[in-house]
Structure 1
Amino acid sequence: MVGLALLAGPATITPAQDDPAVSAPNALPPGLPAELAARLASGGPSGPSPRPDDFPPLDQVTEGYEKVVSMLDGKPSFYTLWVRKRDGQMLAELPREYMRQKHYIALTVASGERFAGLQSGDMYVYWKAFDKRLALIQPNVEVRSNGDNESKASVRRLFTDRVLLDIPILTIVPMGGPVIDLDELLLGQVGKFFPGVRIANPRLATIQTAKAFEQNVEVAYEVPTDNGQLQTLHYSFSLIPENTGYRPRKADERVGYFTTAYSDLGKYADGESRVRYINRWHLEKADPSLKVSPPKQPIVFYIEHTTPIRYRRWVREGLLYWNQAFEKVGISNAIEVYYQDAASGAHMEKDPEDVRYNFIRWLNNDVGTAIGPSRVNPITGQILDADIILTDGWIRAFWKDYFQELPKIALEGFSPETLAWLDTNPQWDPRIRMAPPADRDLLLAQRARRGPQQLGGHPAGLVDPRLMGDNEFDGLVGRLSQVNGLCLAASGKSRDVAALRLHLAAIADDPEKNGDSKDQEDDTPKKDEELLDGIPEEFIGPLLADLVAHEVGHTLGLRHNFKASSVFPLEKINSHELKGKIPFTGSVMDYNPVNINMEAGEVQGDYTMITIGPYDLWAIEYGYTFDEKRLKSILERVSEPELAYATDEDTGGPDPLARRYDFSRDPLDYAENQMRLARYHRGRLLDAFVTDGESWAKARQGYEMTLGFQVSALNMMANWIGGAFVNRDKKGDPGDRDPVVVVPASQQRAALTFIIENAFDDNAFGLSPELLRRMSVDKWLDGDNFRSALNDEPAWPIHDRIIGIQASALTMLLNPTTLRRVYDNEFRTPADEDALTLPELLDTVSSAIWTELDEPGDGPFTDRKPMISSLRRNLQREHLERLIDLTLPNGGTGAAQKPIATLARMELLELKAKCDTALEGKDDIDPYTRAHLLAACELIDRALDAQLIYNTDDLSPSPSRSMIIFGDQAAPSSR
């Protein structure tokens, strides 16, 4: 979906300079009449205002039209509308005072696409007459001056407003406003409102909505788009209220709010020229004298009638979680919730697209998505309306295609620096290594065609400020409305639901796990529990409420907090002390994974958040407190552990706690719990998960789900190596915390040990001949199954899948960014304190991967019982090639590259010596191992010789090895 998000505000502001569409402040739309274009380009006055007697009379213009009367009290509406339904024609009279007003146009695709109902965009505009034409103009709000008169005059002259379009005036109502052809405006110039939408035949357009109220009008047309699809385009015109008493509040980096920002070129002090306001609602006490008062005007949400009745109470509960936060700042029942219901007719007259109403909308589109956008006043940051979208796909997630999911999981938390390096070193890239062999050449060719990407393809570098929802960073930059981009909370919930379905199926006949045992505490789902769509209500209900609370938080102005899950240790989360009483993380604004306890505490704790957390209370206190004198003391609580905060742009940094989908104060405990969970389910796939009459393909699906647990745990722990905790404290805040604190060496080593044991050991994958013989696949040539039916072999590709995971684990450990961070942390740590060093990291990885050279085991070795297993041979070859890459000039960038290269070369020399020793005088080595070690020796020799030829001291680009090895197969290198 596309929507136009246009910059707006007073006439003293500039557009975002990185958007080509608005890069020129005086840009004029094509097709303007020559006289008007010349007048606008010259910046001269518009001339005398048009008079009513210059036009035909109103009754002549509106002949055959019917006036729209929506106001029961007879008051005039904001725009006066006339419609002629037989041919979809509509006229509108602008307000009499239109020249002194700022208008807001909210845009929604209301039907005809998978995400219909999601806010598409908005415009903050004013109308200006030029003889017999009206121009729709976007005020410039990005640059202002609140300084001396000279700076104000300069800013007004340099940063002018922008004409978006123009339209003829049909007539002017005496003592009223100009009349325009509304369908010519909204359909004839639809691309100005909905970029990308093309109407196939305007004559087939029909009016779906035409409602006029005192401060807004709602207009919608159903049109055939260029592919024939019927879509409903909804336009909401409203008056931006002024002088409402709303006071903007300055943003502070210690608390995560969406912001409305501008440059003030009248200020010169450091840090003053960029002004940021938080986005929030205008809430006031009905009685300011009371400590706790009802609001003068509450935030009212309507739950759309399309929401399944069985889920409505949980949606409502998630909304109302937030009232406790507002009560702490003195407002009771700040949020009110009502059900729209088709059966009773309750609130069915309200359109969700109407800007006066806030809706939670439910889409049955089989996509796992939730998003909570809001529209804001671009001058002050005041939130004007919100519409939350929930979809059903995450609830119906029976399993995930984990070989589409695994590359995403493996890349979680990678920095732009790492992604840029992977882009030029595809043999390191999990997106290539985990792809099916048949797809790799295509992926490499596509990558070569597109060339380098900004920020290495990091989502922040792919932002299109006109779009919403295609990218997690859309809505965070370049927009005025707060749309928070692609919120992935529902995607995580779909993995949670799939994991729970796996868990429930596996424990169905396990008395120790399903609550049937007399000794088992009543803390897990029972077989006879009430189910909602096949899942116990006690799980899916709170999970839905948690998701709703997350999205409501966005509509209140709050950004993600990906550090909130670090409040409690896992053992305490699964304790009587917390269960059902205290939320187990600091915030619902994190992507908190489902809590399935596998021997990590005394009870099965809450599966999900049961209310908002302490950080949420604190954030609302800062944003909505009425006593501005308390703001300083509120912010000084930043060092309290339960108020930890990090957001989207922090997830690619060095802080291992600033990440999505991790859990507990010490995520190593959670990672080990996930591996216990994986081992438990792998042992029960054949007997419990697949039942009589079901396809054996389900065993494959279940196993791949456990690989998801495993890769997520590996990725989570890899972030600890070279990590540094980042604090947002300011100088003088209580606690006197350093902004950067190196992760203790003991924690880094524990993380490294976890990865070695769970990625490089053959037993870590739980594979057996019995399981492998039953991991088949179903093939259907319909819908989304067509590609997998051709691409997936019935026999699971063992070596290819495992080396893909192991190669990704090596990337997590040995990519240049991680190695640089380890190297830099050595300098940050005093010399008399323990630190994980580069030599230790490289040597530990090498020793773990080449263990057979130091401890060859007992022979004799044969083809069937080789000295080094096939999985380990693949891993060793992969590791060898990674070391060679690191010795090359393009093995990294920056000052750390040289020591990394020399240490990698030293590792190669030591490996060569070990391989030579293993081959000397041993006749009982099997052919597989002998060939493998001979090839390793030869490769090392050639690599070291090549370095002499290519002169590694030269910083110019240098040839790399000519082959990329995928396990036991070779593919051409793209470099």
Structure 2
Amino acid sequence: MPQSRPISPLTLLAAACVAFLCSCATPEAEIRPDIKVLAETPAEPASAAATPASGASAVAARASATRPAAAPSGPPLPPFATVTQGSRRVDGMLTLWQKDDKVWLELKPEDFNKPMFFSPKVSQGLGEGGLFGGSMLSAYGAWGAPRIVEFRKIHNLVQLVALNETFRARAGTPQAHAVDADYSTSLIGSTPVASQPDGASHGVLIEANNLFLVDTLGMAIHLQQMFRQGYGFDQRNSYFDSVRGSADEVMFDVTAHYFTQSIANSFPNAPAGAPQPTIPSFIPDARSLFLGLHYSLARLPEKPMATRPADPRVGFFTTTVADFTDDQVRSPRERFINHWRLEKKDPAAEMSEPVRPITYWLDRSIPLKYRDAITRGILEWNKAFEKIGFRNAIVVKVQPEDAAFDTLDVGATSVRWAVNAEPIYDAIGPTHVDPRSGEILDAGISIESVASRNLRADRVQVLERASASGLASLLQAPASELAPAAEASAAPKPFGLDAQACLAGDFESEQADYGLDVLEARGDIDPDSPQADAFVQAYLTNVTMHEVGHTLGLRHNFRASRMNTDKDLSDPGFTQTHPLSGSVMDYPPINLPRPGEPVVKPFDNTLGPYDYWAIEYAYKPMPAGTTPAQEKAELLKIAARNTEPGLDYGTDEDNYLGVDPAALQGDLGADPVAYAQKRFAIARDLFTRQESRTLRPDEDYAVLRRSVRYALRDAVRASGVLLRQLGGVATLRDFPGSGRDPMQPVPAAQQRAALDTLVDGVLAPDSFRISPALQRRLAPDFLERGDVSAGGDPVSTDYPVESVMLDFQRQLLFALMSDGLAQRLEDSAPKLDRPAQALAPSEVYARITRALWSDADNFGAGGKGDIPARRRELQRDHVNRLAVVLLRTPGGVRVDLRSTLRAEAASLLPRIQAAQRRPGLSEASRLHLADCAETLRAALNAPMERAGF
């Protein structure tokens, strides 16, 4: 490095002016007032090996290395030994020094501009709001995502910078310069250099407090959004619980305090649906709360793992990068699957143990009685790895009580036990991934104790009266296809979770509760028997298998549940020897027999054919010397097997973005109509059995209430399966040459069968009837109802069965008469070989009218009987829907829809008028019919408003 020339007074004056102007322009002091820049000294040169090859981080790194040092000012930095005097040394990937409440990081010259893996986790949560102890923060949390970071030394300031690994180009190409110029890195934190370089190591000290005893993850923002309160980070009352190190990692365990001076109350006269301030439910004083945060800085693999391309026919989580090296390709985006680095010890052997197995640690928090069931769920995946030549690819170890490590440490893939007061997932399996290659570096499964703690207990998360948005989810229909009340909640999402977060455990837990109720009511199982315990153990094994699949990289597969016929699923012998679904990555309901049929296996305890196939695609070793072209051909050959039975794949997007009738949650069996009819029969049978159920003296009536609630929810979910058949188009992921068309409409006969089952099973006057005697016994759990602080239900004393059923019927009616469904029917019809035979919207409307107004036909023919209150409500909704379409400005709906509904209204009006003349009607029914007739008459005679005139 050339010697510095003497600096002239004029140069110093110019530099001072520039520095003053820059300090006025920079927002750094406003953004991070805790950052202070001390006297600047020349930066230590970084090693050549640590210099980034390409990417957005390269420009900043080079600028850092070449920026000239400013003239020294202020007092000199203290010697290294002076700062560390009396401190405890912690050896690890980076050396740490701790003295009382201060922690310093020792950074040697080679530690600067060296990529590291930054992994944040929540070690202590709130029991609600998505902040649960033991949670791995993932890419779903905007601030808490794992990242590749590096330390940069800029004069006497050290920055911890998150690198931008999404955009890249091959080093040394002109495109790499363009990438560097176009994409920015992000600052995680910064701190001044705290010492002179050490004489032996040449390392300098930086204060870790300024990096990790600040609101690094933006939790204050999350708390503000979640509760609408003014929470802020309180540094004075935050502290390090521990700092630890290992050869490949340093760990900081922080207790972070968040505080607000005052608590906001709800706003009076706020618009419906507007977010309102709330307070955390499970802390002693809502103004103050602590969060435990676990930060890890870990060594990255020296050589990134070879990537494996994503294929849409096999479902894996993916890492996406934009590589601009080749501007001839259609898109710069490259997607490769996330998976573990698994290599054979003996590459030439047909069967070999891996160099490094995937090790799952059972956290010491897991109750002893459940560890075997969870272990079985983990090790079941070894069967898939054995098929591709790995012996003991997965191993299970138990964390000792006196272990010096935490299962939150990077590389300690774990299964933990949670006791959240407000569970929203029951089980979840996130991963942390190397963004350079898709290599899974860490994973953590969390199982909520409600999964087994008390499957007999009433789940307060199940609303007494399902909201419209909740019914939209159960009916598997967009909110736009339901009644106007079906609006998405304005509440923020729990931290670290989004629409695609895994909720399998939550669904399966409800299904396990329901299954126990059904089997107990039939006398097939005693809730206090060993059989009931085996039932819970089987459930835990099933949930574990699903979450382990996620930690191996697999996504959901919602088409897998269609693999078996209803006959096979009803056969005890078949279910004991075969998987119930094509994959454990589905959300199938509990397998229950029809009333009077023998008990069958309720949960899957073995992998399905899809699971074996997916593991083969992701983990099959390629022979030594395999060229990239040969590997690509082999992977395409594996993926092309997707047309084989049991290998169908459809995931979250197919469920909530498409009209696929098979990529659904909560269905089971190849025939959706038979499935729904079975679930309706099970629910009705349960109601009948509960009529005469004798409760033990130590029980209360809440057990009956829970059974009724679960049965009705199950019926709603089965109705959603049928609803998706109407106008449904299966979206197969085949490539050309498979012999199948990728877009396949549901046969017209199956659509009509689904419609008939919906109308006759749900919209009929006597559907899901619950006797007055049973309704009088549906009392709440009075202790839970009153104990709001413990998660009880503060509002529901009565369980209004008629209102619940009306909500169910109303939402289904609106879905059947929605513009969206009409469009689906008309869009799918041309795809049929015989479009004229397609189910048309007019047929749907006529079928609904016949079902809802059969009372009017009976009245016109001299029939007897009044119109029940619930029936009147549904008839009124039907008339209102007809009127709304007729009064809508032309252009708002398709032409055929408007004309069809006008004809429907014109034919219905005289039937209602005839029914009005029948003697013997109640006053309420007579007024109801008169009002319906007037609504239709006014709508039919209303002048048409034309847009543009």
Same fold, judged at TM 0.5 (above): yes
Paired residue for 1:481?
none
Q: Which residue of 2 aligns with 1:219?
A: 252
Structure 1 residues 691, 402: closer, same or farther in 2, change over 3 A?
farther
Q: 1:845 to 1:561 in 2, by over 3 A?
A: same
* Equivalent residue number for residue 902 of structure 2: 905
Q: Which residue of 2 aligns with 1:665?
A: 670
Matched, 1:67 2:89: yes
Shift of 1:414: 7.1
Equivalent residue letter for 2:173? N
Alpha-carbon contact 1:26-1:162 (below 8 Å) kept: no
Deviates more, 1:908-917 or 1:883-892: 883-892
Is the CA contact (8 Å cut-off) linking 1:779 and 1:789 kept in structure 2?
Answer: no
Q: Greater shift after overlay, 248-257 or 690-699?
A: 690-699
2:198 equivalent to 1:173: yes
Contact 2:427 2:505 in 1 (8 A): yes
Change (3 A) 1:671 1:289: same
| Alignment-derived partner of residue 635 in structure 2 | 631
One-letter amino acid of the structure 2 residue matched with residue 706 of structure 1: A
User: Residue 472 of structure 2 is aligned with which of 411, 421, 432?
Assistant: 411
Q: Distance in 1 between the 2:832 and 2:614 partners? A: 33
The equivalent of 2:433 in structure 1 is 376
Deviates more, 1:583-592 or 1:899-908: 899-908
For each residue in 1:123-164, what CA deviation from the matched residue of structure 2 results, as whole angstroms up to 9, or x when unmatched?
311111111111222222222224992322222222243333
Distance across 2 between alignment mates of 1:924 and 1:747: 41
- Residues 29 and 164 in structure 1, CA contact (< 8 A), matched pair in contact too: no
Shift of 1:340: 2.1
In the aligned structure 2, how far is the partner of 1:29 from the partner of 1:926?
A: 71
Please, which of 820, 844, 847 is the counterpart of residue 844 of structure 1?
847
Name which of 460, 472, 475 aligns with 2:499. Answer: 472
Distance change in 2, residues 1:689/1:888 (3 Å): farther
State the alpha-carbon separation in 1 of the partners of residues 382 and 427 from structure 2.
21
Change (3 A) 1:786 1:230: closer
Counterpart residue number, 2:366:
307
How far off its partner does 1:221 sit?
2.5
CA contact (8 A) 1:411 1:430 kept: no
Q: Matches of residues 873-888 of structure 1 in structure 2 within 5 Å?
A: 873-888=872-887
Deviation at 1:689, TM superposition (A): 5.9
Partner of 1:607: 602
Identity of aligned residues (%): 28
C-alpha spacing 1:871/1:786, structure 2 compared with 1 (3 Å) = farther
The more displaced of 498-507 and 393-402 is 393-402
Rounded Cα–Cα distance in structure 2 between residues aligned with 1:225 and 1:104: 27
CA contact (8 A) 2:61 2:152 kept: no
Q: Are 1:707 and 2:707 an aligned pair?
A: no
CA drift of 1:254 comes to 0.9
Q: Deviations over 1:747-797 (max 9, x none)?
A: 111111111112122221222232233333454463238998764354x43
Any unmatched runs of 5+ in structure 1? 1-23, 70-76, 432-446, 451-456, 474-485, 509-513, 515-524, 957-975
- Which of 926, 931, 935 is the equivalent residue of 2:927? 931
Number of residues paired by the alignment?
839
Amino acid at match of 2:119: A
Aligned-partner residue type, residue 650 of structure 1: D
The answer to whether the 8 A contact 2:189-2:210 is kept is: no
Conservation of the 8 A alpha-carbon contact between 1:410 and 1:715 = no
Q: Distance in 2 between matches of 1:682 and 1:857?
A: 34
**Counterpart position of 2:78:** 56
Pairwise CA distance, 1:408: 5.7
Equivalent residue, structure 1, for 2:319: 260
Aligned partner letter, 1:92:
L
Aligned residue type for 1:873: R
C-alpha contact 2:112 2:151 (8 A) present in aligned 1:
yes
Deviation digits for residues 853-907 of structure 1, max 9, x if unmatched? Answer: 333388674xxx41x33332222111111222233437995xx633212211111
Return the match for 1:556 from 539, 552, 556.
552
TM superposition shift of 1:176: 3.4
Letter in 2 for 1:583: P
Q: Is residue 566–residue 674 contact of structure 2 (8 Å, CA) maintained in 1? A: yes
Distance 2:797 2:219 in 1: 47
Query: 5 Å matches for 1:708-857?
Result: 708-732=713-737, 734=738, 736-780=739-783, 782-784=786-788, 791-794=795-798, 796-831=799-834, 834-856=837-859
2:67 aligned residue (47, 62, 82): 47
Q: Which residue of 2 aligns with 1:426?
A: 484
> Contact conserved, 1:430 with 1:804, CA < 8 A, in 2?
no
Which runs of 5 or more structure 2 residues have no equivalent in the other structure?
A: 1-25, 41-58, 138-143, 224-230, 260-286, 623-630
Distance apart, 1:672 and its partner CA: 1.4
Letter in 1 for 2:615: I
Q: Residue 581 of structure 1 corresponds to which residue in structure 2?
A: 577
**CA distance in 2 between partners of 1:41 and 1:377 (Å):** 20
TM-aligned CA deviation for residue 494 of structure 1: 2.0
Amino acid at match of 1:658: A
Superposition deviation, residue 845 in structure 1: 1.2
| 2:133 equivalent to 1:116 | yes
**3-state SS in 2 of match to 1:221:** strand
CA gap 1:789/1:225 in 2 versus in 1, 3 angstroms: closer
Distance, in Å, in 2 between the alignment partners of 1:689 and 1:376 is 54
Q: Does the residue aligned with 1:207 lie in a helix, a strand or coil?
A: strand
For residue 420 of structure 2, give the secondary structure of its aligned residue in structure 1: coil
Q: CA RMSD in A?
A: 3.3
Q: Is the 8 A contact 1:138 1:162 kept in 2?
A: yes
Which of 565, 568, 584 pairs up with 1:569?
Answer: 565
**For 1:84 and 1:582, how far apart are their aligned partners in 2?**
61
Cα gap change, 1:25/1:404 in structure 2, threshold over 3 Å: closer, same or farther?
Answer: farther
Contact 2:214 2:233 in 1 (8 A): no
CA displacement at 1:831 relative to structure 2: 4.1
Q: What letter is aligned with 1:665?
A: A
Partner SS, residue 683 of structure 1: helix
Residue type of the partner of 2:472? L
Partners of 1:955 and 1:499 lie apart in 2 by: 56
| C-alpha spacing 1:50/1:341, structure 2 compared with 1 (3 Å) | farther
Q: Is the 8 A contact 2:215 2:233 kept in 1?
A: no
AA aligned opposite 1:645: Y
CA gap of 1:605–1:955, structure 2 versus 1, over 3 A, is farther
Q: TM-score, normalised by structure 1?
A: 0.80
TM-score by length of 2: 0.82
* Equivalent in the alignment of 1:530: 530
- Partner of 2:406, secondary structure, is coil
Out of 387, 409, 432, the position equivalent to 1:354 is: 409
Query: CA 1:675/1:622 → structure 2, altered by over 3 Å: closer, same or farther?
Result: same
Q: Secondary structure at the match of 2:851?
A: helix
2:210 to 179, 184, 196: 184
Residue pair 2:39, 2:156 contacting (<8 A) in 1 also: no
CA distance in 1, matches of 2:645, 2:159: 54
Counterpart position of 2:947: 954
